[in-house]
Amino acid sequence: MAAPLSEHPGLPSCFKAYDIRGRVPDEINADFARRLARAYADFLNPENVAIGYDARLSGPELAEALADTFSINGIGVTEIGAVTTEELYFATASLGLDGGIMVTASHNPAADNGFKLVRRGARPISADTGIAEIGARLDLPDRRPSARGSRRTVDIRSPLALYLTEHFGIATSRPLRIVANAGNGMAGPLVRELAGSFGFEWIWLHERPDGRFPHGVPNPLLPENRSETAQLVRATGADLGLAWDGDADRCFFYDETGRFIESYYLVGLLAAHLLAGSPGELIVHDPRLVWNTREIVLASGGETLCTKSGHAFIKEAMRERKALYGGEMSGHHYFRDFFYCDSGMAPWLLLTRIMIESGRSLSQLVEDRIARYPISGEINRSVRDPEATLARIAERYVPGARSVDSTDGLSIEYENWRFNVRLSNTESLLRLNIETRHDPRLLVRETAALLRELERHEAG
């Protein structure tokens, strides 16, 4: 296992726990991309790699710098163009390539860009699997062998759409009206490719990829980004609302009333559906919110494994244990049938299948679970000293707790409520999540108390 980022103090700040993100051009630019390609090549020694990029305006230049540098160093390049991140995963895994780089900053502002790195089989390169070691190689020179590596362009979207339809699509159909908010990210073209296979009526918002993101930061988790989708669902009488982040590796849901449904409840719903066809399998989840998922999985005859938040950590745990499915409350959903990778398309394909087969609306499918385990929603706060703040919270809340867990941050559980507070892997924030058993008043009270504690340590 590779050394954690904390053991590499000279690493550029754009290196995160499971990807690379920073401002363009100050931190991320063509020169950085060339240095990264050389470092990646030295670390993995690949023969062929895939390169894709999202809608950001700097994407084509950064992708070209990567591709040219790989070619100069004798490495073959498969260029898949402007794509979702799952298209990069699919290309790497299905074409048997040695690795791939997706040029994306996911849900970050338009002025940012970055890179998600994978090896053979679309296995992520993260803090635990070598991203810091790649960062330590940024100053290596070109190898310049006698022959340049070949470059080819491949259309991966059509094969992916066929694969997703075969593995996750519905056997029977009925007309559903769906609002789809692509947020000017990369979801639109892939959903269009899939849409022809089903008899759904699509109502689009911001379908066209536009790296300026004229309608706001491509992050559907932000409360200020939810109202437009919700209002259109209500105005059109839609059965379902969908929204994606910039690189479309996360999908978010609205029920027929326009209510935003927290991804936590989708994890349990999808897990139960998948376990019905594969009883006894393992489901992986993150530690931020757990009670609903564990209860549903156990009732469905499955087993659960809690692991650290973040796509790289979830995927590694799933591979090690050959888990059927993994889900995070952040909107990432991972599937064994998709190379253990996260997909922004498989979740809505599965959900529409559940709705059609059950004859129930999304609200009917999740209402009792929302009432059974009310949650705070993720609350983010910037604090002066995150480690000291966590220590202070532990000092106050550990006494009297039924259990304390440090899988990721600090999880403290009592009989009727629990919370997790953790450092963000991508931003300088503390993230807080709270859930209770059937008790919204307790949720309000304990959320207020924890926020008062965090406010004592807020950054000025």
The catalytic residue positions are 106
The strand pair at 240-244 and 177-181 is best described as parallel
Angle between helical axes of 362-372 and 263-277 (0-180°, round to 10): 110
Cα 325 to Cα 342: distance, rounded to the nearest angstrom = 10
Helix (H) or strand (E) holding 63: helix 59-72
The residues, any chain, with a CB within 8 Å of residue 444's CB and separated by 6 or more, are none
Cα 233 to Cα 253: distance, rounded to the nearest angstrom = 11
Cα 389 to Cα 411: distance, rounded to the nearest angstrom = 14
DSSP state of 73: T
E strand map for 222-362: 240-244, 251-254, 260-261, 282-285, 303-306, 325-327, 333-335, 341-342
DSSP output for 132-187: HHHHTTTTPPP---SSPPPEEE---HHHHHHHHHHHH--SS----EEEEE-TTSSH
